A and B are shown apart, each in its own frame.
Chain A
């Protein structure tokens, strides 16, 4: 968040000191950095094209030879390459969905919290309604009507998971808007938009940042759910979710085909969650959000 970046050095220093004390968060941050780098430089690290078929070399086990360090799948495609490119897909979906979630959630939360009254009531009842449906259900319904592309999947995930963010932001705004600096802005004649986005929103940056980090993890998980169920990223494009789908037929004979993408998902989700936890404790120990 740019607002946090603009905060004074001493404050960032204090946050960093507290974050560093959180060992798991540090490890999570390290994993996240590693994943981002590997996704970014996938073409450089990947031994070959992830969609290249080689039926002569099917089901190679991992660590058997240098051409395929993590083995090959049922069509002879290189597993490491597919994992790296699948990571690109998962992280892209995770980040785009997170941005969508945060923007929608923050906008709805700040509007409800600041305007209050009828607007607040309508928006919060809408949030309650959205929360009534299990997210996977919503996703599958929408996915059945929207052709699956990377962007549409990300947007659909983002637009079905903003509710918690809006509640967090609303709660924060309710507390902030009673402060004197808001009254001072009103006394100066500031418009509602200016008060909402210039005065209030930057002050809610910390909880938003924490929610954003945790949302990347849940979006990655969601993407693998729906890809696993066949509504997400379509073959031959690799994603951790559809790698799992392909692997399930061979689980008893070649388990590593399922274990490897499963481990990648677990690692990513844990990395982001630990990082989010650490950020929350570092930014504001008083904040608590249920996962």
Chain B
């Protein structure tokens, strides 16, 4: 990509494991272990993988809600991985987050108006009257009445709360929004509404999204490109169609074969993986996936596979994937 909005390379988030008494470091959880990602302006990148593979941690590290222990995060061309709070402040306006749980992500003691005015208070934007007007405008944008500003989060349904969360993320007019499973806590009927809202906002404002998800049906609906994570690493990155029809990494293939078919009676060859995901505190040597891989070779247990470009925009981190 010529001039990506966000370029993450070699991102690492390692958490120390400490002994209960003397607090010495006795191990490391490699939640994110060398992740490379790129997001272009106005583009949607889906980050998929099963629970615990590090996708949420990756998102939070990009937003600097969790401090990365290594690697680089370039946003709009500037390296921000090591920025302190004051140098980070302008970037807080340019990237935002929408959380999974619409019940925990809104302060129960604040009115919706207070929640939506907070971004302007923090960044000292506008007068009180301006802020009122902007809050009303935000509510309108996400399809809620202006009177909602006077009410408290518990008076709204899950879908409405998620709209409030989206409105808050939009308040500072960011260029990138990270959606951390933004619809997985919602009823299926509401999921579509929220997804359509997010797509409309993207079209209107040229937003870029990173959609963190384990739901491939949602991903197939929203993503331009997809990155698949397994145990702290990205194993395959590809444009959406390529990924769904020409996945090269054995993990991606297994993941896709687990997607339920919408047509009853139609069955695909289901590829069931053996064993469990290893602990990120003790990841396997070489390729993280090799103990469960159906096609693993001795080499896979020794050498870490680096991402290889197999087609334009399609990179696979597997020694054995066909070029």
Contacts and interface: CB of A to CB of B under 8 A. Distances in A.
Contact of B97 (A6, A11, A184, A205): A184
Contact of A188 (B92, B99, B109): B92
A74 interface: no
A288 interface: no
Nearest to A8: B152
A180 interface: yes
Interface in A1-50: 3, 6-8, 11
Contacts of A185: 107, 118, 122
A208 to B, nearest CB: 13
Contact of B168 (A184, A189, A194): A184
A180 to B, nearest CB: 4
Contacts of A253: none
Contacts of A7: 109, 152
Contact of A183 (B93, B99, B110, B151): B99
A120 B100 CA distance: 30
B93 A203 contact: no
Interface in A180-221: 180-181, 183-191, 194, 198-199, 202-203, 205
Contact of B104 (A181, A187, A189, A194): A181
Nearest to A186: B65
Interface in B121-178: 122-123, 151-152, 154-155, 165, 168, 172
Given A183-B99, A188-B92, A202 B109 contact: yes
A180 B106 CA distance: 7
B107 A194 contact: no
B172 A188 contact: yes
B119 A188 contact: yes
Interface string B170-214: 001000000000000000000000000000000000000000000
A60 B123 CA distance: 71
A189 B106 contact: no
Contacts of A129: none
30 contacts: A7-B109, A8-B152, A8-B154, A8-B155, A11-B154, A179-B105, A180-B99, A181-B106, A183-B97, A183-B99, A183-B105, A184-B97, A184-B105, A184-B168, A187-B65, A187-B97, A188-B96, A188-B122, A188-B172, A189-B88, A189-B89, A189-B93, A189-B122, A190-B122, A191-B122, A199-B107, A199-B110, A202-B107, A203-B107, A203-B108
Given A11-B154, A188-B96, 17 more contacts: A6-B109, A8-B154, A179-B105, A181-B105, A183-B99, A183-B105, A184-B106, A187-B65, A187-B92, A187-B96, A188-B123, A188-B172, A189-B88, A189-B93, A190-B122, A191-B122, A199-B110
Interface of B: 60, 63, 65, 85, 88-89, 92-93, 96-97, 99-101, 104-110, 118-119, 122-123, 151-152, 154-155, 165, 168, 172
Interface of A: 3, 6-8, 11, 179-181, 183-191, 194, 198-199, 202-203, 205
